[in-house]
Structures are given as structure tokens and as C-alpha cells.
Amino acid sequence: MEIPALADLLDLQEVDLQIDRLLDRRQSLPELARYRQADTARQAAEAGRDEVAGRHREISLDLDKAEGELEMLEAKLGESETRLYAGGMSSRETAHKQLEVTSLKGQQSALEEKVLKLLDLHEALDEELAAAEKSIAEALATEKELEGRITEQWKEIDLELGRREQRKAEITPSIPGDLLELYDTLRKTKDGVAVGRFEHGACGGCHLALSAPEQAEAREYDPPRCTHCRRILVF
């Protein structure tokens, strides 16, 4: 394998490593983690809001029903009291009407208590809904702010990625296809480092020293391969 091709391969690897670092940076921005937290908080708040809204609707229906029953009962009580106080009834009819009025007043008292309890619960749910809506609005505002920051940083990273991809496109044509194929295969299994420069008696990929016989063995391969890690070795 010609030395210039191997030298270009070292350049390609450096560019690929830069691309890897940029891609990793793109996916690990602190703002992304905060955005996910805000999104999770918003979804939880929305789920809580929806649950409270369901109970709120049920209480509203119960309250409307109780208030309607109370209104009807009060009308009936008013009629009975009017008839009782108007007189003109027998003592038996008067006693019966008094019992009816007493019963209706008891029902009225119970219904009024029920309405008051439902009103208190309705008010409490109103407060819960307001708190949930506030949490949702705050989470949405945080998401929007973080989206702006993320978009701006991604824009800068993507510009840098574009420059690196352009540089890669300039290097690649000078490298034989079979060497590129080997390089790509090794990159997948060697943590992105497929090539090691031989310096100071050691492989630049695994950083292990090669004895004189191991160096000779490495040179027998085309391209040269480290006897320890099997990366392409550039002497």
C-alpha cells in the first residue's frame, strides 16, 4: 500500500473523529436534557390537568343537579307553607300539612348542606385547575426558550459539520476503495479509531509497544496492521 494513501487515511480519520465529536456534542447539549425535563413536566401537568378537569365536570354536573333539586324543593316548600298559613283546612289536614312542611324543611337543610359541600369542592378544583394551567404555561415557556437556544447551537454545529464533510469529500477520492472499506469496517469495531500512526515504537491506536519482530510482522500486511489491535498501522 502506498504511503500517501495511508497518510490520507490518517487525515480522513482525524476528520471523521471531529465529525463524531460534533455529532456527539449535537446530541448531548445541556439544553436538550433541560428541554426533555420541561417536556416531561408539561406532559405530567397536562395529565394532571385533564384528570382534575374530569372531576371538575362531574362535580359541576352534581352541583347543577343538586341546585335544581333544591330550587324545586324550595318552590314546593313555599307552596306548602302558603297553603298552611292560608288556613281553611281541617285540623287533620292542617296536621298533615305541618308534617309535610317539617319534612320538606329537613330535606331543604340536607340539600343546602350538600350544595355547600359541592361548592367547596368545585372551588378547590378550580384552584387545582388554575395551578395545573400555570405549570403547563411555565413548562411551555421554558421549552420555547430552550428550543431557541438549541436551534442556535445546532445551527453553529451544523455549519461546522458541513465544513468537515466537505473536507472528507476532498480526501476520500485519493484513497483506494478496498482500503476505505477496511477502514470503515475497523471504525465500527474499534471505537471509531481504525488507523494508528507508529511513533516512538508504539501503535497510535492501542498505544502498545511493538518489538522489532512485531514491527516486521506488521509490515508484511497490506496495508500494515498492528499485531496487537489489528488496526491499520502507518509507519
Q: Indicate the SS3 state at residue 209.
A: strand
Q: What stretch of H or E contains 68?
A: helix 30-86
- In angstroms, the CA 78 to CA 152 distance is 72
Better pLDDT: 173 or 1: 173
Q: pLDDT value at position 5?
A: 82
Bridge partners of 198, per DSSP, are: 203
Domains, the chain, in order of start with CATH, read 28-170 (1.10.287.1490)
- In the predicted model, is pLDDT for residue 88 greater than 90? no
AA identity, residue 156: E
What are 216-225's pLDDT values in tens digits? 999 999 999 9
Q: Answer yes or no: are the C-beta atoms of 103 and 76 closer than 8 Å.
A: no
Q: Nearest-CA neighbor of 49 among 116, 132, 170?
A: 132
Q: pLDDT value at position 231?
A: 96
Q: pLDDT value at position 3?
A: 66
Q: pLDDT value at position 156?
A: 97
Retrieve residue 226's grid coordinates.
Answer: 498492528
Q: Indicate the SS3 state at residue 197.
A: strand
Phi/psi for 59 (5° steps) reads -65, -40
What are 9-67's pLDDT values in tens digits? 999 999 999 999 999 999 999 999 999 999 999 999 999 999 999 999 999 999 999 99
- In the predicted model, is pLDDT for residue 228 greater than 80? yes
Retrieve residue 123's grid coordinates.
Answer: 372551588
Other CB atoms within 10 A of residue 212 CB: 8
Please, which pLDDT band fits residue 2 given cuts at 50, 70 and 90?
Answer: low
Share of the chain above pLDDT 70, in %: 99
Retrieve residue 7's grid coordinates.
Answer: 497518510
- In angstroms, the CA 196 to CA 190 distance is 11
Kindly give the pairing relationship between strand 202-203 and strand 232-234. Answer: unpaired
What are 117-156's pLDDT values in tens digits? 999 999 999 999 999 999 999 999 999 999 999 999 999 9
